[in-house]
Amino acid sequence: MTQPSLPSQPGSAASPVDAPPPTQKRRRWLRWLFVLVLLLLLFIVFLPNLVALPFCRQRLLDLAFSRVNTQATLGELSLSWFSPVLIGDLQLQPENTDRAALSVQQVAGNTSLLHILFGHSLGNYRISQPELYVHFDSEGTNITRLIRGLSSLSLGNRSAQLEVIDGRLLLQGQNSPQPWQVDGLNLNLALTPAGENAAGVPVVSGENTRLLNQMELTPEMCNDLLKFITPPLFQATRTSGKVSLSLDDFHWPLGKPEATDLKGRLTLHSVNVVPGPIVQLLNSLLQNHNAPWVMQIAKDDEVTFSMHNGRVYHDNLLFRLSALQVEIVVHSHGSVGLDETLDWFLEFQFPGLEGADLTGHPWMKLLSQNPTIHMVGSLSQPKLSSQGLAAQVLQAGFEWLLQRRSEQPNSQSSPDLPPGR
């Protein structure tokens, strides 16, 4: 006989018809996945805009530049995946300094952020009204130390083109109370990545660049820059005249000034100076202790120079020393190291001997052959490589000319130097 079925107990398993269908669970999971993907895409799309916000960009700048002990600030930053980068009011100021090493009014690129991150080059950038402050001290310059620190912030193995508009350069030496400035710099520069040169660091290069254009010569200018090209200008106490300086081409490995390679021309427009220690050594050599030498460089004389292996080589420098109505024309060539060491040759010519009767004066005959001395040591402590025959000839010639001038007090001064070559 059939048993009656028992009623279902409470809490027993629900029948299959009460469970959610599997397709409904799948749709719910797909909706959540779609929302997450959408949020992620929106985050990626607007990430550059978020980074450009003041509180975000300053945190990132502090994180990046704290490693090189530098405070970086931006007044404006425009970032977008598909638009060129725009930077405004950039300042980099190393710690324990009261002046920004670099300030730029605006940097405008022509390449989108997406191309910068994934393209073959960083693009072209127009840098408007930058100001670079270079301070020389016993350890080098603030810019060299800053660049060496920034070398850790790699931008990848890619090149860039830079156009500098209306730039300003401020230079201040160890003994300069205030920096002297060069305005109106307009440069076209190429940035080569570290992987494409032997120095192992990024290289800035350019050509046909004018740095100084008829600028008034000052002692600060002589002591901070021109001493490497024209050694007698070092520590000049008084100056007059104007100078122009242009670079034919240059290659500057960032952070490695000793590896810089350049060629250029310095034009000196009727420069007169009261020289420093180098000409003081000549005073001692010529036994002239009664009056300081005044140095004059020929009008519009052009000095060619080059730099490589940490030394600046010059040629074609012609100047005149005058004291006690005696004039000496000096032809100069040689080099000055970035460490201020000297390897310098001076060839002397005495215009006052022209037409003089040198019979019975053996030293005078040697003097007419333009004796040459070799100066070594450093700019601040120059010395002769040897006290040879040339030094004795120069001493005898100077004494003879002084005696001759004293016998002819109304004689005319020697002719001017020939014009610049």
Q: Alpha-carbon distance 179 to 215, whole Å?
A: 15
pLDDT at 416: 44
Q: Are residue 103 and residue 171 in the same domain, yes or no?
A: yes
- 103 or 348: which leads in pLDDT: 103
- 415 or 29: which leads in pLDDT: 29
Q: Alpha-carbon distance 384 to 41, whole Å?
A: 74
* Domain edge (last residue) among 196, 222, 237: 196
16 assigned to some structural domain: no
294 assigned to some structural domain: yes
Q: Are residue 98 and residue 124 in the same domain, yes or no?
A: yes
* Domain edge (last residue) among 166, 196, 226: 196
- 387 or 24: which leads in pLDDT: 24
- 164 or 414: which leads in pLDDT: 164
Task: Tell me how many degrees the CA angle 178-181-186 measures, rounded to the nearest 5.
Answer: 160
User: For the range 376-379, what are the long-range contacts, defined as Cβ-Cβ under 8 Å and sequence gap of 24 or more?
Assistant: 376/341, 376/342, 376/343, 376/344, 377/341, 377/342, 378/339, 378/340, 378/341, 378/342, 379/227, 379/231, 379/234, 379/235, 379/277, 379/278, 379/336, 379/340, 379/342
Q: Alpha-carbon distance 49 to 46, whole Å?
A: 5
34 assigned to some structural domain: no
pLDDT at 224: 86
State which residues form the domain around 102: 42-196
Q: Are residue 107 and residue 250 in the same domain, yes or no?
A: no
384 assigned to some structural domain: yes
Q: Alpha-carbon distance 354 to 75, whole Å?
A: 68
Query: What percentage of the chain has pLDDT greater than the value 90?
Result: 23
Give the pLDDT confidence of 336-368 residue by residue, as tens digits: 998 999 999 988 887 766 666 666 666 666 666
Query: What percentage of the chain has pLDDT greater than the value 70?
Result: 75
Buried b (16+ CB within 10 A) or exposed e, 180-211: bebeebebebebbbbeeeebebbbbbbeebeb
Q: Are residue 115 and residue 231 in the same domain, yes or no?
A: no
* Domain edge (last residue) among 136, 170, 196: 196
- 273 or 166: which leads in pLDDT: 166
Q: Are residue 298 and residue 182 in the same domain, yes or no?
A: no
Residue 399 has pLDDT above 80, yes or no: no
264 assigned to some structural domain: yes
Binned at pLDDT 50, 70 and 90, residue 314 comes out as very high
Q: Are residue 226 and residue 292 in the same domain, yes or no?
A: yes
Residue 90 has pLDDT above 90, yes or no: yes
Q: Are residue 216 and residue 156 in the same domain, yes or no?
A: no
Residue 421 has pLDDT above 50, yes or no: no
153 assigned to some structural domain: yes
Rounded to an integer, the average pLDDT of 15-41 is 73
pLDDT at 240: 85
- 65 or 264: which leads in pLDDT: 264
Please state whether beta strands 180-192 and 294-297 pair in parallel, antiparallel, or not at all (unpaired).
unpaired
- 319 or 14: which leads in pLDDT: 319
- 352 or 306: which leads in pLDDT: 306
94 assigned to some structural domain: yes
- 44 or 398: which leads in pLDDT: 44
Q: Are residue 173 and residue 297 in the same domain, yes or no?
A: no
Q: Are residue 216 and residue 164 in the same domain, yes or no?
A: no
Q: Are residue 233 and residue 140 in the same domain, yes or no?
A: no
Rounded to an integer, the average pLDDT of 129-141 is 82
Average pLDDT of the residues of the chain: 80
Residue 246 has pLDDT above 60, yes or no: yes
Q: How many C-beta atoms surround the C-beta of residue 378 within 10 A?
A: 15
Give the pLDDT confidence of 170-194 residue by residue, as tens digits: 988 776 778 888 888 999 999 888 7
Give the pLDDT confidence of 199-236 residue by residue, as tens digits: 778 889 999 999 998 899 888 888 888 999 999 888 88
Q: Are residue 173 and residue 275 in the same domain, yes or no?
A: no
Binned at pLDDT 50, 70 and 90, residue 412 comes out as very low
299 assigned to some structural domain: yes
pLDDT at 86: 94
Give the pLDDT confidence of 257-301 residue by residue, as tens digits: 888 999 999 998 878 777 777 777 777 776 665 666 677 776 778
Residue 396 DSSP label: H
Q: Are residue 269 and residue 131 in the same domain, yes or no?
A: no
Q: Alpha-carbon distance 304 to 267, whole Å?
A: 9
pLDDT at 389: 60
Number of domains in the chain: 2
